[in-house]
Structure 1
Amino acid sequence: MTSLHTTRVRRRRLGVAAAAAGLVAALFTAGPAAATPDPGDTATTDGGVPVSRQIEARAEAAIRSGEVPGVDEIVHSDNIEHLTNVPKNALKGLNTDLAFQGRYAYAGNYDGFRIFDISNPEKPRTVAEVLCPGSQNDISVSGNLLFLSTDSSRSDDSCASTSQPATEKSSWEGMKVFDISDKRNPKYVAAVETACGSHTHTIIPERGNVYVYVSSYAPNEAFPDCRPPHDGISVIKVPRNAPEDSRVVNFPVLFPDGGNPGAPANPGVSRTTGCHDITVLPSKDLAAGACMGDGLLFSIEDPENPRVIDRVQDNVNFAFWHSATFNQRTDKVVFTDELGGGGAATCNEETGPNRGANGVYDIVGRGDHRKLVFRSYFKIDRPQAETEVCVAHNGSLIPVKGKDLMVQAWYQGGVSVWDFTDSSKPREIAYFERGPVSTDAVTTAGPWSAYYYNGYIYSNDIAKGLDVLKLNDRRTDPAKKVRLDELNVQTQPDYFRR
């Protein structure tokens, strides 16, 4: 374990262009699934000068100017402490999402998952590493069950599987279920194949069962288990006492009209062929769906049969609706836009402040008459080098009564803490980031997810490992008194009704 300390603290403005437990098979590394790369990303020359060399030169110039930190240099606002970093260990793939339970943190990785004991947040300790390759490995926990998404075509449903084309009928992708009653020795107990795999998932815990909403997309006529139209989500029912009996119980159609058609009708916008991520607020029987070209508000009063209440599009500035977060009063929802598919440098002057941003929406009206009403965009204004993949990604509420505060990951844009209490005027109040991992080429790295849990921010950096941060700010300090027994961020708790 190593602890990285900041070398300088500064504030910058926008202005630079920019299953089995243990190791049971060979390590597998894959790149993140691209969502919607911008046209022109593959250009190789500009005026006879190789684009790669131009990007490298601009990145190096940005560092020399002081606008961008040096390679791997840590910078942060005065109100954030960087307590520690735990580098990758046996699992060498890309780090992904996080879930929490008591004194444990569960970290997804394209090679499997890792369990940390975080009883001392300044010194997280590895309890187990489980090799179970499959891209994404989005992760959730409920009681003694752990859920893992597989969104790459595999030879079978085992943790010793190998990559296999999706055109093969025998290929498998979907949801895996582990028994984590023994944290040191998780046991793989169930698998459920789902149409087009499982890019992400969201759980709705109940006393006897756990419902799992599986988000997946990108069907193809050549894929036997992922053919169009793919206009909904898979709903899995997992009996707590018999997870081996888990099964798909419904595939509700959310887009009876086919959803956003994308180009050519809406250039630069993804065609909707499913959902990327769903966030549920069980205490309110409400969910928000980020579904490629569409944003949804829907009822989960009957979890097996979710029902759409409202749907919105932004065909000017949103390229790929990626994730959603409710505020505590459930009168706002934040949608993120994964411009560039998590593979492009989009936090720069050329892209601007509205494209690749968060969209803040008010929820107005009651019951089935509720509507999503756009209020503003929020995007970090700290410039990034042109080799830094920067994109709005996963975050969570910071529970403070009467305030709407959120911590969010931005890949190489770092970790941002921002206030959207006034939904028309959101603003950043704290940040943490590293400089580019390279000035030679556009590189995917930085925080995949950044979540507030029991007084600390935990960030799973794609390349660098687990970071633990501490906020010291009067605006966020009341959140330190809020304690949870379990946190899956896409299953939002009601923090103040506990």
Structure 2
Amino acid sequence: MTNSWLEKVVVCLCVGLLGACAPERDGVGGTIPAPAPPTPGVSLPEVGDYEAVPLAACKVRPKGSTTAECGSLESFDLSGCDSKSLLGLRTEGFFNMRMHRSDIVENELAATLRPGDFTVDRGASAAHPMFRRSTNTYSDGRVAVVAQVGCSARGTDVVTGCELTCINGVESRSFTFEGTRIRRRAGEGESGGELPLVGEAATGPGMATDVYVTKGHAYVVSLDDVFAGDGGLYVFDIKDRKAPRLVATVRHASENYWNSVWAKDDALYIASGDRGILVFDISQPANPRFVRDLSNGTRQNVHTVQVDGSRLYATLIDPTLETLIYDVKNPREPVLLGRYLDESVGSLKSMVHDTTSFEGRLYVNHWSAGMLILDPTDPANVKKVGAYKYPRASSHAARVGRINGNLTGFEGGEGWGAHLRVLDLADEKNPRLIGEYKLSPEVSIHNMELVGSRLYLAHYQHGVRVLDVSGPAKPVELAYYNTWRETDANRGTSPWDGAIGIRVPGDGYVYVVDTSRGLLIFPEVMYTDIPEDPNEL
């Protein structure tokens, strides 16, 4: 057998069935080298995602220190700025912005994200190369003026500045800001690491957000959006992955803010922004039939849904911030068993976003409260076992599994500087940070899927990222696909734009939802293991 090593040994680790090979995939996809043996994880320092400091050297002049009209260029102290550097800023395309309110030092959560665009006046007569203001009159007669001024540019793609809002000529609030132009990472093309696009299908109106795959169909939900239109449910026949076929569209006249989707047997669950959880009968997969909602006649904004065994977990963000637990032994007739409200949080800054369950524990991403670890054994009396909280957290999604036998968590936030954190969960009361994966601070992660030692990320404008986490202290990027294209419709309307939903259901494919493009299908990546010593065979 001394020559058999030339044939290469294919170790199939695909689609969650370790040791089982995926079905044929029409000749697409590829192989990547097997990972190096993992190294033990040591605790890393946790410093949070961003510093709670002003972002620019400009300032709003204090009240009483100037006679200038509120919102005029003279309202700002620009003595610390480098206005000439603004002339080198590239302004085409879109920017992601972070805004730090003037009280950011005292209130570290006084930060927000938003989309942005900028114009530079390079004329010699311009009073300032980057200054603009807008005026709006409210229905009650109040007049609002918003003024924005650039301070400095760092290179061609990053700008800092100040923004001031005045109501009836009096300062209402002010911010410093940093804007970064959205672009592909240096050296990247459309795809890398053998992750080709197999098939794609548009979803129509609405901002696509999530997908669930079952019964030979992909169920994609979308949100109402001022730019993209009404949301709804789109059902695709995926027998031919190269050409997914839209077979049904479902909308409700009263509301179509549908953010999340999951299924169990013949029941499909959709998280609704007004009616809690919507239950559909999918015994005929191409023809979903609405059965009921679980709102009990009250307005309920459910953000996400997730099923594990006979339990359905849902995150409620209005009117309260709770995790709901349902029995779904009869899938089309969920029964509410309990609800969990974390008493340590009480504002929308700590909205409950997502859940994942593993080995009897429920992990809840609770924004500034971090990732909660719950014991839901008794749904009427859920116990908080522990939490991983970090400074200025925006905990948004997680997956948990056994990596090399060790209980390991993967957590992602959605704020500026948010990135993937790898956690050792052996001591649930004191989770340890042992690894990180970072790209660029202006683009965060939305959702993720853990399949064996593969972690699949829906990484907004950075597209799809596939990581080898067999050495959890040092995640290794295996492949990527940049789904975000500047030319797509409705780009630049949100900092949370691009690859947003992802599923790896075990059929040899990865299903991704992009906010503008809709459904995209990719092959899973497989290991090719070539032993260093051919005699090992």
TM-score, normalized by length of structure 2? Answer: 0.59
- Within a 5 Å distance, the mapping from 1:199-214 to structure 2 comes to 199-206=303-310, 211-214=311-314
From 324, 327, 338, the counterpart of 2:398: 324
1:357 Cα deviation after fit: 0.4
CA distance in 2, matches of 1:96, 1:65: 22
Write the letter of the residue equivalent to 1:327.
G
| Offset at residue 377 of structure 1 (A) | 2.0
Residue 337 of structure 2 is matched in structure 1 by 249
Matched, 1:432 2:481: yes
The CA deviation at 1:421 is 2.1
> Deviations for 1:249-290, whole angstroms, at most 9, x for unmatched residues?
32223x23x23x89xxxxxxx743x52111012xx2122111
Where do 1:174-193 residues align within 5 Å? 174-193=276-295
For 1:156, the equivalent position in structure 2 comes to: none
Secondary structure of the corresponding residue to residue 81 of structure 1: coil
Larger radius of gyration, structure 1 or 2? 2
Residue 86 of structure 2 corresponds to which residue in structure 1?
none
TM superposition shift of 1:65:
11
Q: Which residue of 483, 508, 514 maps to 1:455?
A: 508
Q: Which residue, 256, 259, 264 being the options, matches 1:134?
A: 256
- Aligned in 2, Cα 1:42/1:436: closer, same or farther, shift over 3 Å? closer
- Please give the per-residue CA displacement for 1:308-360, whole angstroms capped at 9, x wherever unaligned: 21112101xx53110110124561011110115xxxxxxxxxxxxxx210111
Structure 1 position 418 matched with structure 2 position 418: no
Amino acid at match of 1:423: P
Deviation string 1:397-443 (CA, Å, 9 cap, x unpaired) is 233xxxx2111111111000012222221221110004542599565
Cα distance change on mapping 1:330 and 1:139 into 2, 3 Å: farther
How far off its partner does 1:126 sit? 2.2
Give yes or no for contact 1:79–1:471 (8 Å, CA) kept in 2.
no
Cα distance in 2 between the residues matched to 1:465 and 1:201: 20
2:504 and 2:184 mapped to 1: Cα distance?
33
State the Cα distance separating 1:239 from its structure 2 match. Answer: 5.8
8 A contact 2:217–2:285 mirrored in 1: no
Task: Tell me: CA distance 1:184–1:136, structure 2 relative to 1, closer, same or farther (3 Å).
Answer: closer
Distance 1:66 1:251 in 2: 42
CA 1:198 to 1:442, structure 2 compared with 1: closer, same or farther past 3 Å?
closer
The worse-fitting range, judged by mean Cα deviation, of 423-432 and 301-310 is 301-310
CA contact 1:44–1:52 (8 Å) conserved in 2: no
Matches within 5 A, 1:47-126: 48-50=129-131, 58=157, 67=186, 75-88=190-203, 91-110=204-223, 111-126=231-246
Shift of 1:462: 0.8
Q: How many residues align?
A: 361
Query: Following the alignment from structure 1 to structure 2, what is the Cα–Cα distance between the partners of residues 39 and 124?
Result: 37
1:78 Cα offset (Å): 3.8
Determine the structure 2 residue equivalent to 1:350.
none
CA distance in 1, matches of 2:445, 2:406: 21
Cα distance, 1:305 vs structure 2: 4.0
> Higher strand share goes to which structure?
2
Q: Deviations over 1:203-231 (max 9, x none)?
A: 2332xxxx3222133x5xxxxxx26xx4x
Show the counterpart of 1:280. Answer: 357
Please tell me whether the aligned partners of residues 202 and 212 of structure 1 are also in contact (alpha carbons under 8 angstroms). yes
In structure 2, stretches of 5+ residues that fail to align are: 1-27, 29-88, 91-108, 121-127, 132-147, 159-179, 224-230, 531-537
Aligned to 1:164: none
Change (3 A) 1:43 1:117: closer
Partner of 1:359: 421
TM-score w.r.t. structure 1 length?
A: 0.63
| Uncovered stretches (5+) of structure 1, i.e. residues with no partner | 6-16, 19-35, 154-172, 220-225, 263-269, 341-354, 384-388, 478-498
- Match in the other structure for 1:236: 326
Aligned to 2:373: 297
**How far apart, CA to CA, are the structure 2 residues paired with 1:476 and 1:437?**
38
Identity of aligned residues (%): 19
Contact map agreement 2:360 2:375 (CA 8 A) in 1? yes
Runs of 4+ with >4 A deviation:
39-48, 50-55, 61-66, 438-444
In 1, the alpha carbon distance for the partners of 2:216 and 2:183 equals 43
